[in-house]
């Protein structure tokens, strides 16, 4: 089985959201015959998942708009999440009927995909009991590198994981990230620099994330065929 790849570069959230929904519908119908990994960066946007609690958005919608930050309510699980340039977002459109029909298993597989990718750059990361995401912990404390929120219909997934690569984390000041009080966010660039490791580019991290997903889900990465690209992206 293959894992089709779609690199959208820097794309507005609403455009990528529309592509995700078309891709999920196509995967459900069978028009998209293989799983798909969408890779993208977004201009600054705050998204509110189904579990967002009052008080976790620290800025008013008016203030966010004036600051050039979009605000969107979305159907994914999880709390408030931030996207901004320099952060790599991966949206796996995966038919769990071909893997395992278990969303908890799926979340652990997404975490594992990112952890495998980060080992490429000498970063050992892990999980925190009771909290979804990918974390790094040492004598300096615990920092979160990746946030995860997913949605599924007919066992086909969309939404996904946001990995902080070289973003400045400024947009996170407007929220309680992922609804976790006192959470410290970090980036791949910061962690590599602190560990005296070479700092990878977003492109290098993107390649490692692709390989991580392909390995963990036992798939072979392949370009999205042109007819499917036209079907999914052409509308935008």
Catalytic residue IDs: 178
Q: What angle do CA 229, 12, 88 make, to 5 degrees?
A: 80
The two three-digit tokens of residue 39, written as one number: 């890779």
The two three-digit tokens of residue 95, written as one number: 């038919």
- The C-alpha atoms of residue 113 and residue 6 are separated, in whole angstroms, by 17
The two three-digit tokens of residue 150, written as one number: 């997913």
pLDDT at residue 7, as a whole number: 98
Distance of CA 24 to the CA centre of its chain: 16
pLDDT at residue 211, as a whole number: 98
pLDDT at residue 57, as a whole number: 86
CATH superfamily label, 2-233: Bira Bifunctional Protein; Domain 2 (3.30.930.10)
pLDDT at residue 177, as a whole number: 61
Q: pLDDT digits over 131-183, tens only?
A: 889 999 988 889 999 999 999 999 999 999 999 999 999 888 887 665 566 67
DSSP codes of every residue in 148-214? EEEEEETTEEEEEEEEESS---GGGGGB-GGG-TTPPB--HHHHHHHTT-PPPPHHHHHHHHHHHHH
- Point out the residues of the chain with pLDDT beneath 70: 176-182, 235-236
Burial of 77-109, coded b for 16+ CB within 10 Å and e otherwise, reads: bbbbbbbbebbbbbbbbbbbeebeeeeeebbeb
A 10 A CB-CB count for 168 gives 13
Q: Where are the domains of the chain?
A: 2-233
Q: Which of these, 221, 218, 219, lies nearest to 207 by C-alpha position? A: 221
**pTM, full prediction:** 0.94
Residue with tokens 């995909």: 113
pLDDT at residue 178, as a whole number: 56
């Amino acid at each position: 089985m293959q894992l089709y790849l779609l690199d959208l570069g820097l794309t507005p959230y609403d455009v990528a959201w529309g592509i995700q929904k078309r891709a999920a519908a196509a995967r459900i119908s069978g028009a998209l015959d293989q799983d798909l990994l969408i890779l993208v960066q977004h201009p600054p946007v705050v998204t509110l998942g189904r579990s967002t609690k009052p008080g976790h958005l620290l800025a008013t919608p008016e203030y966010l708009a004036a600051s050039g930050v979009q605000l969107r309510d979305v159907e994914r699980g999880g709390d408030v999440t931030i996207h901004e340039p320099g952060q790599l977002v991966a949206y796996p459109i995966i038919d769990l009927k071909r893997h395992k029909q278990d969303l908890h298993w799926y979340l652990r597989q997404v975490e594992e995909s990112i952890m495998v990718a980060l080992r490429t750059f000498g970063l050992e990361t892990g999980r925190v009991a009771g909290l979804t995401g990918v974390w790094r912990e040492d004598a300096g404390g615990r920092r979160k590198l990746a946030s995860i929120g997913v949605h599924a219909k007919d066992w086909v997934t969309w939404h996904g994981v946001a990995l902080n690569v070289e973003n400045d984390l400024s947009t996170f000041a407007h929220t309680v990230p992922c609804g976790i009080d006192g959470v410290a966010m970090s980036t791949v660039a910061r962690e590599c620099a602190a560990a005296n490791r070479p700092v990878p580019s977003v492109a290098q991290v993107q390649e490692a994330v692709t390989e991580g997903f392909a390995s963990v889900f036992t798939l072979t990465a392949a370009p999205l065929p042109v007819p499917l690209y036209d079907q999914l992206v052409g509308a935008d």
